[in-house]
Amino acid sequence: MVRYSLPLKFLDGPRVSALLAPLAKPLKASMGNTIFVRLRDQTAIGRSIELSQTLRGVSSSLIRLVHGTIVLIAAVLASIPVRVVAAEPSEPSVIATGDFNGDGIADIVESTGQDGDVAGPQLLVVLLGRADGTFGRVDSRIPLGGDPRAIVVGDFNRDGNADVIVGDGDGTLLEFAGDGRGNLVPLGKVATLGSVVSITAGHFTRGHNLDLVVSDAESNAALVLLGNGDGSFRQTWAFELPQRGMEFHLATADFNRDGLADIVITSEDHEGDYEVMLGNGNGTFSYAPQLSHLRDPNSYCPT
């Protein structure tokens, strides 16, 4: 795949410099006199287009939305267009584990392209684990959206079987009920948000139903959906994420041993930092600075 590059000497415009200049020094040391920027998600495409429109003499823009890492390569010469392209991934977009046939052996659920086409609609595939460590694919082709971003596994309808919820980049949450034999049955939309970056499940109340919390980059919020025990959910609360314009990933665990699931918030852009939100037992959470780690003490903290 041909990639256009931005010569470092052209990093002179204020808006271009703000985005690219911090990366120039380390990349120049390892790559020589050109630079390209990897953007991890489609929410960054809007910023890429905005950047392309500020570059003087740009003749055109070509947007290619595919799965995998999106690469923005900008050139400020009049004869070179700005293009957003992507490297083709060799691995599934999203993947999770669970016991889908009740044999006590971990199985895999993943998204994959139809007939190997990573740019088109995706399929949900179950791979059943065997005792020897190998996997066998279940003969099913369950359609997904075009940009699956997260998968979470749990018994959301309390029938004893592992179910699956898939979050798409457009904000759609799709639910699939497990039948206990390795098959997944589409149940439709659970909710529609602005976007989906990360999903995690846990018991956020004293009840027995599994609940969800979803990271939404579009609204810069984490949204709590309490489970009704029948596979349906109701949105009850939301809290602001640490910084707009970034992707935040969520995980749950009981950090203070009170029997309630708590949330930890992380981002690839702030390696080593994490923020912990303790569950209050009613589907809301409170920031726990004593359990969090922020290198910058003046960083924003959720409240």
How many CB atoms sit inside 10 A of residue 143's CB? Answer: 11
Lowest mean pLDDT among 47-61, 138-152, 167-181: 47-61
Give the mean pLDDT of 222-231.
97
Reported as a single tens digit per residue, the pLDDT across 48-85 is 333 333 333 322 222 222 222 223 333 332 233 333 33
Average pLDDT, the chain: 74
**Looking at 36-50, 139-153, 205-219, 224-238, which range is the least confident one?**
36-50
- pLDDT category at 118 given cuts 50, 70, 90 is low
pLDDT reported for residue 302:
55
Query: Mind listing the pLDDT tens digit for each residue in 248-286?
Result: 999 999 999 999 999 999 998 777 899 999 999 999 999
In the chain, what percentage of residues exceed pLDDT 70?
A: 65
For residue 294, what pLDDT band results from cuts at 50, 70 and 90?
confident
pLDDT of residue 255: 94
The answer to whether the CB of 252 falls within 8 A of the CB of 243 is: no
Range scoring the smallest mean pLDDT among 11-15, 112-116, 136-140, 264-268: 11-15
Categorize the per-residue pLDDT at 295 as very low, low, confident or very high, splitting at 50, 70 and 90.
Answer: confident
Overall pTM > 0.75: no
pLDDT at residue 284 in the model: 97
What is the per-residue pLDDT across 24-44, written as a single tens digit (0 to 9) for each? 343 333 333 332 333 333 333
